[in-house]
A and B are shown apart, each in its own frame.
Chain A
Amino acid sequence: MATLVLPRFRSRSALPGFGLSFAFTLFYLSAVVLIPLAALIIRPWELGFDGFWREITQPRVLAALRLSFGASAIAALINSVFGLIVAWVLVRYRFPGKRIIDALVDLPFALPTAVAGIALSALYAGNGWIGGPLSHAGIKIAYTPYGVMVALVFIGLPFVVRTLQPVLADLSRDAEEAAATLGATRMQTFRRVILPSLAPTLLTGTAMAFARAVGEYGSVIFIAGNLPMVSEITPLLIIIKLQEYDYAGAAAIGVVMLAVSFFFLFALNALQAYVSSRR
């Protein structure tokens, strides 16, 4: 019998169970993730393009988008600086209690966001441990856009530290040694040798922190104060629209946020491919 040679979807294997596991994977993925996301993407277009545009350019929506992106960008920037210092200290130095600090870095991943939210809110409120002294100095954090920033720094930190740590640990010290023997100061070595080789990874971690911050809800809403046009974040606006049964309006904002997520997913994949091609 002549064998028919067709381009195959999968190559041969002696192991059983591909059909079943692949079919279940696709079914479950579609049912839980893909079809619901498709439902979101389709929904706002019942308003037509003009209606969609009107929804997302309302002053209140624009103010929320500005706050979400602005506060996330500043928080990511703060995290890129302090995250680099924390990662550096954890990888390069030895000091008592280091393991506890290292484990604590994962806290924002593990602590439920609502718990983080009320804790930060109590801490930075006018009568809180940090908020109290600051309010004497005339600085208000809780219930202002600065409060939003504090919450976003909290949830973004582990992304920067955990992305940097393995790369920093693998970083060869030969180049640093060479720079030192050629007379470079430690600062010059850091700026000219270490930082350039860390830059793509630092950028990856910072972008991850930013992407997470834009969509964050639980840790922010308690400390934000949620004043329309001032300290109201975009995800909260979706919830408000839903409570008013304005599904199309909520979906329109949701689509904008989803588009941002997709953009970051794509950009981060490209960035990581670039980083691993250089290593």
Chain B
Amino acid sequence: MKPIIRPRSATDDHPLTKIVLSTIAIVFIALFLFMPLLTVFSEALARGWQMARDALIEPDALAAIRLTLIVAAIAVPLNVVFGLAASWCIAKFDFKGKNFLITLIDLPFSVSPVVSGLVYVLIFGLQGWMGQWLRDNDIKIIFALPGIVLATVFVTFPFVARELIPLMTDQGRDEEEAAVSLGASGFSTFLRVTLPNIKWALLYGVLLCNARAMGEFGAVSVVSGHIRGLTNTMPLHVEVLYNDYQYVGAFAVASVLALLALATLGIKSLLEWRFADEIAAGHHH
């Protein structure tokens, strides 16, 4: 029979220390993480379900939801294709400057979201490099869908690649070389050998990429122009409503985004727990 009370080992903290530190940690997490989350839902439902529901089905909110889905549907696949290409050439081949290339791929993570939007305004904006030409040819990029997509692609750029590169590097190229030497084409090797090996890591990357794409605020805010019903994504719609003192509406839309975040965290934890070895374990952000 196992003893119920284990004697304290030399590397265990004193029970009192444990209680104090655990309390500090839990209170800190509750104050800074849990209460803001709770606030979102409680403010959304402050005037009952009906008001919250109405705020979600009014035309501007629906337009914002649609735009957010469209932007993610373009930006995420683009970054998946890029992530696959980048990880294939980086993980399966040796070439000079590889580490430098990896650093460049990570670059968008260290740039302020506002700066990420700014760079496109400087190119495509009215007084940007191509501003005059775009105006003459009646092409709208800034304050329109293309600008929002570009800014989103920029901020979500590294997500898929940085999940795949370490994993595929670890896996090496033996299996692919065997397939190719047995006569498989490059494409079918990728499809039948590489892809099954990386599918969970790919899903993990897509999950994080999508969450950020749907939730991005700063970068999109710079290029969107905040035109209600036209260029407002969900986070921007939240801002517009909040600044209009329509708190129930703002928090209702925000609670949809918060649910998306919670679902993302749930699936992420599930993937980490179930497929730890297949998604480059211990690899966090």
Chain A positions near chain B (C-beta within 8 angstroms): 9-11, 13-18, 20-22, 24-25, 28-29, 32-37, 39-40, 43, 82, 85-86, 88-90, 92-93, 95, 99, 101, 103-120, 122-123, 128-130, 150, 153-154, 157-159, 162-163, 165-166, 173, 176-177, 180-181, 186, 211, 214-218, 222, 235-236, 238-239, 242, 245, 247, 250-251, 254, 257-258, 261-262, 264-265, 269
How far is the CB of B43 from the nearest CB of chain A, in Å? 6
Q: Which of A85, A166, A181, A218 has the most CB of B within 10 A?
A: A218
Q: Report the separation of the CA atoms of residues A176 and B11 in the bound assembly, to the nearest whole angstrom.
A: 6
How far is the CB of B76 from the nearest CB of chain A, in Å? 14
Q: Which of B10, B25, B153, B284 has the most CB of A within 10 A?
A: B25
Tell whether B101 is near chain A: CB-to-CB under 8 Å: yes
Q: Report the separation of the CA atoms of residues A118 and B112 in the bound assembly, to the nearest whole angstrom.
A: 20
Instruction: Evaluate contact between B103 and A115: CB separation under 8 angstroms.
Output: no
Instruction: Evaluate contact between A247 and B125: CB separation under 8 angstroms.
Output: yes
Instruction: Evaluate contact between B86 and A101: CB separation under 8 angstroms.
Output: no
Q: Which of A25, A86, A130 has the most CB of B within 10 A?
A: A25
Q: Which residue of the partner chain, among A104, A114, A222, contacts B33 with CB atoms under 8 Å?
A: A104
How far is the CB of A109 from the nearest CB of chain B, in Å? 6
Q: Report the separation of the CA atoms of residues A88 and B25 in the bound assembly, to the nearest whole angstrom.
A: 9
**B150: A residues at CB distance < 8 A:** 32
Instruction: Evaluate contact between B112 and A106: CB separation under 8 angstroms.
Output: no
Q: Which of A93, A112, A180, A265 has the most CB of B within 10 A?
A: A112
Q: Which residue of the partner chain, among A15, A122, A261, contacts B180 with CB atoms under 8 Å?
A: A15
Q: Which residue of the partner chain, among A17, A86, A106, A257, contacts B265 with CB atoms under 8 Å?
A: A106
What interface size band does chain B fall in? 35 or more
* Given A85-B24, A93-B22, A154-B33, also A40-B115 (CB < 8 A): yes
* Given A110-B265, A215-B115, also A157-B33 (CB < 8 A): yes
How far is the CB of A152 from the nearest CB of chain B, in Å? 11
Tell whether B120 is near chain A: CB-to-CB under 8 Å: yes
Q: Report the separation of the CA atoms of residues A36 and B25 in the bound assembly, to the nearest whole angstrom.
A: 42
Beyond contacts A86-B25, A111-B261: 15 other A-B pairs, Cβ-Cβ < 8 A, are A18-B95, A21-B86, A32-B153, A33-B108, A86-B28, A110-B215, A113-B215, A114-B235, A115-B40, A115-B257, A166-B284, A173-B11, A216-B113, A239-B222, A250-B118
Chain B positions near chain A (C-beta within 8 angstroms): 9-11, 13-14, 17-18, 21-22, 24-26, 28-29, 31-37, 39-40, 43, 81-82, 84-86, 88-90, 92-96, 101, 103-108, 110-115, 118-123, 125-129, 150, 153-154, 157, 173, 176-177, 180-181, 186, 189-190, 208, 211, 214-218, 221-222, 234-236, 238-239, 242, 247, 250-251, 254, 257-258, 261-262, 264-266, 268-269, 282, 284-285
How far is the CB of B135 from the nearest CB of chain A, in Å? 14
Q: Which residue of the partner chain, among B105, B254, B258, B282, contacts A29 with CB atoms under 8 Å?
A: B105
Q: Report the separation of the CA atoms of residues A11 and B94 in the bound assembly, to the nearest whole angstrom.
A: 6
Q: Which of A115, A123, A235, A245 has the most CB of B within 10 A?
A: A115
Instruction: Evaluate contact between B103 and A13: CB separation under 8 angstroms.
Output: no
**A236: B residues at CB distance < 8 A:** 114
**B119: A residues at CB distance < 8 A:** 36-37, 39-40, 254
Q: Which of A82, A159, A245 has the most CB of B within 10 A?
A: A82
* Given A114-B217, A238-B115, also A106-B250 (CB < 8 A): no
Q: Report the separation of the CA atoms of residues A242 and B114 in the bound assembly, to the nearest whole angstrom.
A: 11
* Given A113-B218, A114-B254, A235-B112, also A107-B261 (CB < 8 A): yes
**What would be 9 A-B contacts, judged by CB atoms less than 8 Å apart?**
A28-B82, A33-B107, A37-B119, A112-B216, A114-B239, A129-B35, A166-B284, A222-B242, A265-B110
Q: Report the separation of the CA atoms of residues A180 and B8 in the bound assembly, to the nearest whole angstrom.
A: 12
Q: Which residue of the partner chain, among A114, A120, A180, A216, contacts B10 with CB atoms under 8 Å?
A: A180
**B126: A residues at CB distance < 8 A:** 245
